[in-house]
Amino acid sequence: MILIIDDDSAIRSSLSFLLKRAGYEVETAVSPKEAIEIVRFISPELILMDMNFSLSTSGEEGLVLLKQVKIFRPETPVILITAWGSISLAVQGMQTGAFDFITKPWNNATLLDSIHTALELNKKEENTPAKDRREIDNKFCFDKIIGKSPTLIEILNTVARIARTNASVLITGESGTGKELIAEAIHANSKRSKEAFVKVNLGGISQSLFESEMFGHKKGAFTDASTDRTGRFELANKGTIFLDEIGDLDLSCQVKLLRVLQDQTFEVLGDSHPHKVDIRIVSATNCDLRTMVNEHTFREDLFYRINLITIHLPALRERKEDIPLLAQHFADKLTLENGLPTVRFSSDAMDFLKRLPYSGNIRELKNLVERTILINNKDSLDSIDIEKQYQNHTSNQDTTICPGMTLEEIEKQTILQTLEKHKNNLSQVATALGISRAALYRRLEKYNITI
Ligand SMILES: Nc1ncnc2c1ncn2[C@@H]1O[C@H](COP(=O)(O)OP(=O)(O)OP(=O)(O)O)[C@@H](O)[C@H]1O
């Protein structure tokens, strides 16, 4: 049963009608008092609660009710309905434990979608996590993801559980930990797998091009718009959009993004009628968005909108037990692709690999393994072979650190030296530094380095 709490009879009846037509059983409550009477005795599967009771316009009453409901029914997902202007209320509600919020006037499809997602995620019987990799692989497709450490198993269990829902997912973790791979796996295991997976690197899109890139434009919409352009949201319709480096989005673009995520509608530049899309949102960042929210550089409402579910990927140094499997996987892939004989690692070589700090995470391990194989050209690798490559690489990157230099000055100097070494080849520089090309672009911009 879904409990609708609203003091406006028109809203109660239109929501009841919508939900009953969608096949749900519905109960309604007119006031917080009546709502508490109900939840005290019955456990609804979900609660839909309007925050703006007519008695107090501040929404305080709604927040108090939410807290009370959470005491009686901590497991029951609550979806809040708020006015568009009272987003901060929705944010407070999310902090109090609401599952999601929608703004008035709501979009029926978006609301039903959120309800469906909440109910799916709350299903108990299907939620028994798999114990090991074999059990997971029997039911799901994670063939590109290597590893069987308990941390990875836990992550894959979460991905398996949430993939089929439409929940927005935020993937966090250092550069090179496999965030993009996890985003692809969410899509591949979802009902949308046959539709598009569209990756957008928000770190690489300038503020001025954001709208035309994301929403598209009509010919003549602005001076340089010589043809129509389809935006990324349109391309991702019915599928998944992967918003990489979302922490790099400036505040003015954040608000534009929030609008689309709120009601899955946007306007193409130069075309005033709204376009409706059906999109699953997966985002990733290596920034600490919570700190950015506290520092007011990331909108709190957007933060809640994108991370119904958060998946944190640990650094490689925190799951060293996966290193041998990963190293052999990268070796096999490289040799197969290049028609080379199979390469094995001695146990000393594996021990050496397991000891490295990997600031560039799995990407760094992959590069090190590939470099060592290509340079040595032999089918059995010892620790000395790897050590040489590792040292060559790190010593080439050595930066002269003078007393008093700030971290930023050291970073700038490292980038300048690496650019020189690789003759400004940005792909090679990014690989050498263990960061993505977009992350490199941002740093070049930050330090005013022109090449
Ligand atoms: N578990 C894994 N198994 C096999 N390959 C992996 C795994 N995790 C990451 N990789 C590989 O490591 C490289 C980096 O992964 P990916 O691009 O997904 O990281 P990322 O966290 O998105 O990095 P960035 O933040 O820099 O964009 C890729 O080549 C990817 O295929």
Phi, psi of 309 (to 5 degrees): -125, 135
Decide if the complex's ipTM is over 0.95.
yes
Q: Which residue puts its alpha carbon closest to atom 8 of ligand 1?
A: 178
Q: Which residue puts its alpha carbon closest to atom 26 of ligand 1?
A: 175
Tens-digit pLDDT profile for residues 127-178: 678 888 998 998 899 999 999 999 999 999 989 988 988 889 999 999 899 9
Ligand 1 mean position to 212 CA, how many Å? 29
Q: Rounded to an integer, what distance in angstroms lies between the CA atom of residue 85 and that of residue 93? A: 15
Report the topology of domain 316-396.
Answer: Helicase, Ruva Protein; domain 3 (1.10.8)
Q: What is the pLDDT of residue 33?
A: 86
Q: Which residue puts its alpha carbon closest to atom 30 of ligand 1?
A: 178
Residue among 143, 146, 152, 181 whose CB has most ligand 1 atoms within 8 A, to mutate: 181
Q: What is the pLDDT of residue 394?
A: 66
**Domain made up of 130-312: CATH architecture:** 3-Layer(aba) Sandwich (3.40)
* Token couple for 21: 């037509």
Q: Rounded to an integer, what distance in angstroms lies between the CA atom of residue 185 and that of residue 183? A: 5
Q: Rounded to an integer, what distance in angstroms lies between the CA atom of residue 316 and that of residue 143? A: 19
301 contacts 261 by C-beta, under 8 angstroms: no
Ligand 1 mean position to 427 CA, how many Å? 16
* Token couple for 403: 């007393």
Which ligand 1 atom minimizes the distance to the CA of 181? Answer: 18
The CA distances from residue 368 to 324, 372, 421, in Å, are 13, 6, 17
- Which amino acids bring their CB within 6 angstroms of ligand 1? 145-147, 173, 175-181, 286, 326, 329, 362-363, 366, 435-436, 439
* Token couple for 376: 């040595």
SS3 of the chain? CEEEECCCHHHHHHHHHHHHHCCCCEEEECCHHHHHHHHHHCCCCEEEEECCCCCCCCCHHHHHHHHHHHHHCCCCCEEEEEEHHHHHHHHHHHHCCCCEEEEECCCHHHHHHHHHHHHHHHCCHHHCCCCCHHHHHHHCCCCCCCCCCHHHHHHHHHHHHHHCCCCCEEEECCCCCCHHHHHHHHHHCCCCCCCCEEEEEHHHCCHHHHHHHHHEECCCCCCCCCCCEECHHHHCCCCEEEEECHHHCCHHHHHHHHHHHHHCEECCECCCCCEECCCEEEEEECCCHHHHHHCCCCCHHHHHHHCCEEEECCCHHHCHHHHHHHHHHHHHHHHHHCCCCCCEECHHHHHHHHHCCCCCHHHHHHHHHHHHHHHHCCCEECHHHHHHHHHHHHHHCCCCCCCCCCHHHHHHHHHHHHHHHCCCCHHHHHHHHCCCHHHHHHHHHHCCCCC
Q: What is the pLDDT of residue 397?
A: 54
Q: What is the pLDDT of residue 126?
A: 61
The CA distances from residue 67 to 72, 211, 223, in Å, are 9, 39, 53
Q: What is the pLDDT of residue 177?
A: 95
Preceding amide of 129 cis, omega within 30: no
- CATH number given to 407-446: 1.10.10
Which one, of 305, 371, 383, 320, lies nearest residue 346 by Cα? 383
The domain ranges of the chain are 2-125, 130-312, 316-396, 407-446
**Matching CATH topology for 2-125 and 130-312?**
yes
Q: Which residue puts its alpha carbon closest to atom 10 of ligand 1?
A: 178
- pLDDT tens digits for the chain (451 residues)? 999 999 888 999 999 999 999 999 999 999 888 998 898 888 899 999 988 766 555 667 788 888 888 888 888 999 998 876 677 888 888 888 899 988 888 889 889 989 999 998 887 656 678 888 998 998 899 999 999 999 999 999 989 988 988 889 999 999 899 999 999 999 999 999 999 999 999 987 887 889 889 999 888 877 777 888 899 999 999 999 999 999 989 899 999 999 888 878 888 888 888 888 999 999 999 989 989 998 999 998 899 889 888 999 999 999 999 999 999 999 999 999 988 899 999 999 999 999 998 888 999 999 999 999 988 888 899 999 999 888 877 665 555 666 677 778 788 888 988 888 887 888 888 888 888 888 888 888 888 887 7
Q: pTM for the complete prediction?
A: 0.78
Ligand 1 mean position to 407 CA, how many Å? 26
- CATH number given to 2-125: 3.40.50.2300
419 contacts 446 by C-beta, under 8 angstroms: no
Which one, of 362, 423, 425, 417, lies nearest residue 393 by Cα? 417
Q: What is the pLDDT of residue 192?
A: 95
For residue 361, is it left (φ>0), alpha (ψ between -120 and 50) or beta? left
174 contacts 361 by C-beta, under 8 angstroms: yes
Ligand 1 mean position to 121 CA, how many Å? 27
Ligand 1 mean position to 177 CA, how many Å? 5
241 contacts 282 by C-beta, under 8 angstroms: yes
357: which strand partners?
A: none
Q: What is the pLDDT of residue 242?
A: 97
93 contacts 80 by C-beta, under 8 angstroms: yes
Q: What is the pLDDT of residue 399?
A: 58
Residue among 148, 170, 180 whose CB has most ligand 1 atoms within 8 A, to mutate: 180
Phi, psi of 46 (to 5 degrees): -160, 150
Q: What is the pLDDT of residue 351?
A: 94
| Unique residue bearing structure tokens 């009477």 | 37
